[in-house]
Structures are given as C-alpha cells and as structure tokens.
Amino acid sequence: EVQLLESGGGLVQPGGSLRLSCAASGFTFSSYAMSWVRQAPGKGLEWVSAISGSGGSTYYADSVKGRFTISRDNSKNTLYLQMNSLRAEDTAVYYCAKAPLPGGNPLMGFDYWGQGTLVTVSS
C-alpha cells in the first residue's frame, strides 16, 4: 500500500525557514517523480515544486522560485522541501504527491497524496 507521510510543518515568523519531509513507502520511490502541492486555508490547490525520480531535474512555481528548494534522498525514501524567506502568503497545508507513472512527466497528475502538513507564517 502506498503511503506518504508529511512532517515538519508549524508556526514560523515572516522571513524564517522551515524544512518539510515526506516519508514514502509501498512503492519503488526512486522510480517516480514527486511534487509538493499546497492549499491555503479555504482556497484552491497550488502546485509548488516537482523533482524527477533520480533527483536530477527540479521544477518550481514562479511564486517560490529562489526561496524554496526541493530534494530527495532515495536511500531513505524521503522527499524534502526547504522553505526560506517565508511570507504570510506561504501559509497553507503542504501535500506531497506522487506521479502516476515510473519515469513519467512529473506534472501529468498525482495519484497518491499525503495527509498534508500545515505551515503558518505569522508574527
């Protein structure tokens, strides 16, 4: 059974940093691209970042480019999102999500999602 478990969310002041983790199990982690998708309270979904299975290719939404860094450790089956220079508008539930096909385009859809971790940016 595929499982994705996010952690690392919390309250942080504007300008601060936070690192999210997503522990994956139930599939061959290194074969699949992964993404982070966020949802501000009461709002819709926003794709944040994606990474290929090998970690060699990364992609970012314009809203986070230069501030967030996605990475993965395939030996630990774990996905990360390093978030720096956080702003109030980054407040959201952050989901990690798995691409549906091995080796496929990371943005062709997300077939499994974690339960999400809440990041609140406030003074």
Partner 1 sequence: EIVLTQSPGTLSLSPGERATLSCRASQSVSSSYLAWYQQKPGQAPRLLIYGASSRATGIPDRFSGSGSGTDFTLTISRLEPEDFAVYYCQQGGTFGGGTKVEIK
Contact set with partner 1 (CB under 8 A): 37, 44-47, 50, 59, 61, 95, 100, 105, 107-116
Q: Is 79 left (phi over 0), alpha (psi -120 to 50) or beta?
A: beta
Specify the residue, 42 or 123, whose C-beta has the smaller distance to partner 1. 42
Amino acid letter at 25? S
Three-state DSSP class for 45? Answer: strand
Specify the residue, 72 or 98, whose C-beta has the smaller distance to partner 1. 98
Give the closest residue to 116 by CA, choosing from 7, 10, 28. Answer: 7
Cα 95 from Cα 115, distance rounded (Å): 7
Specify the residue, 5 or 74, whose C-beta has the smaller distance to partner 1. 5
Nearest-approach distance from CB 84 to partner 1, in angstroms:
21
Nearest-approach distance from CB 93 to partner 1, in angstroms:
9
Specify the residue, 37 or 121, whose C-beta has the smaller distance to partner 1. 37
Nearest-approach distance from CB 101 to partner 1, in angstroms:
9
Task: Read off the tokens for 56.
Answer: 């060699």
